[in-house]
Structure formats: C-alpha cells, structure tokens
Amino acid sequence: MVTRRHFISSMLACACCVPNAQTASSVATDDTSFQILCGMRHTPTVDSIENMRAARPEAIRVIKWVANLIGVRPVFEVLAADFKRRNIAVAATRGDHRYVIYDAKWFVFEDNRVSWYSIYILAHEIGHHIYGHTHGFKPDQHQGELDADRFGGWVVARLGGRLDQALAFMPYLSEKGGKTHPPRNKRIEATRKGWLAGAPSDYRLGFPR
Ligand SMILES: [Zn+2]
C-alpha cells in the first residue's frame, strides 16, 4: 500500500489523455514541492488522487510488456488510485522512481483480460517518461502529448493490436482539446502514425493476420 503521504515528496508530472487541461502549477507541501503539468477540467492536486494502492496484476503485466518491448529493465512502477477528477492516468516520479498511476474506475480487468485501450493509456504514460516529460523536458505540451500518443499507438501495434484497437480510447478525448492537450483529430493522427510505424508491413497494407 502506498499512501498519499508517500507522495507528498513526489512530483506528479503529467496527466494522460486529459482534454480541457489547464496550465501547469506548482504546489508547495510541508517538506518539498511537486509540480503538476496538466489536468482535465481542473489542475490536479495531490488531493485529487486518493487511496494509492497496489495495481492489479494485469496492469503490472502491461507495464512489463512495454519495458520488455523497448528493451529496458523494469524501471516503471504502476499503482492504482481513486481519482476525483477524470484524469484517467498520470505519469509521476518520486525520487529515482518512475510511476504510472491509473484511475481504478477506468481500468476494468475482467477474467484477467486487458483491454487495448488500457494498454494504450498505460503506454502513453510510459511514453511521457521515455521522452523525459517527467523530468522537465517538455518544451511544447501539445507536442509532448502527441509524442506520448504516438508511442501508445506504436506499442499497441508491436503487441499485435489492430489500428482500431489502438484508437479505441479516442472517443473519450476532447474534440477541441485544451491548453495543454491537442484536439482529438491530431491525437488520432499521432496514434495512427505510431501504429503504422510499429505494425508489420503486411498489416499496414491491410492483410488480416
Ligand atoms: Zn499525456
């Protein structure tokens, strides 16, 4: 069990797939400060993520799949939590640790199965870590989101998912986007490009597998 107190000293870095996000903010806490880069309708605060706890084994499995895929040791950790606002998932750091925290409401694992949209979202958050967005390397927030979307599409393709499965989460995104998150059509395009880059050539040409 990871309590909220454990995260007082953490940096909550980037919320995923969150249309209508607001601008970055820094929040001072009792012993340090953490930076929040994006949110959905409200800028997330540590109070908006509650009951952090061990992730479901299915989510842990997805994180391991992605680490194996890109050839890194399993440096990403995943936690479940209750989100007060619809941030879906966030990438966060605490010291040397890199986390993906997901909203338990949005991730339903039935019969030990993992949905493609869950894979896409978790991969999107890992994309933020890989690109360095959780360590301040995010000169343009829209581009940062598109890069993470592209990575999500690539992961789905490499794990054998179809393009429509990579795009399964798109209807939940804001059509117009917001200050930090691009409009849906751009995110679809970034995800599609990632999927095309990752899919085998026969798949790209439309042949069934
Ligand atoms: Zn994101």
Cα(18) to centroid of ligand 1, in Å?
7
pTM over 0.85: no
61: confidence class by pLDDT, cuts 50, 70, 90: very high
Q: Specify which of 24-28, 105-109, 166-170 reaches the highest per-range mean pLDDT.
A: 166-170
Say how far apart CA 64 and CA 73 lie, in whole Å: 9
pLDDT at 200: 80
Encoded tokens for 86: 């619809």
Cα(133) to centroid of ligand 1, in Å?
9
Q: Please provide the average confidence, as pLDDT, over all residues in the chain.
A: 78
What confidence tens digit (pLDDT) does each residue in 47-56 have?
678 888 999 9
Contacts of 36 (CB under 8 A, 6+ apart): 12, 13, 15, 24, 25, 26, 27, 43, 44, 45
Cα(148) to centroid of ligand 1, in Å?
6
pLDDT at 97: 84
Say how far apart CA 55 and CA 128 lie, in whole Å: 19
Cα(147) to centroid of ligand 1, in Å?
9
Cα(145) to centroid of ligand 1, in Å?
5
Cα(48) to centroid of ligand 1, in Å?
17
Say how far apart CA 183 and CA 110 lie, in whole Å: 31
Domain boundary assignment for the chain:
4-204
Q: What is the distance, to the nearest Å, from the Cα of residue 53 to the centroid of all Cα atoms in its chain?
A: 17
pLDDT at 141: 86
What confidence tens digit (pLDDT) does each residue in 110-148 have?
777 889 999 999 999 999 999 998 887 767 889 999 999
Cα(1) to centroid of ligand 1, in Å?
25
Identity of the amino acid at 123: A
Cα(15) to centroid of ligand 1, in Å?
5
Contacts of 91 (CB under 8 A, 6+ apart): 13, 14, 16, 98, 99, 100, 125, 126, 128, 129, 133, 134
Say how far apart CA 196 and CA 4 lie, in whole Å: 39
Say how far apart CA 144 and CA 81 lie, in whole Å: 24
pLDDT at 190: 97
Cα(128) to centroid of ligand 1, in Å?
7
Cα(75) to centroid of ligand 1, in Å?
19
Cα(207) to centroid of ligand 1, in Å?
31
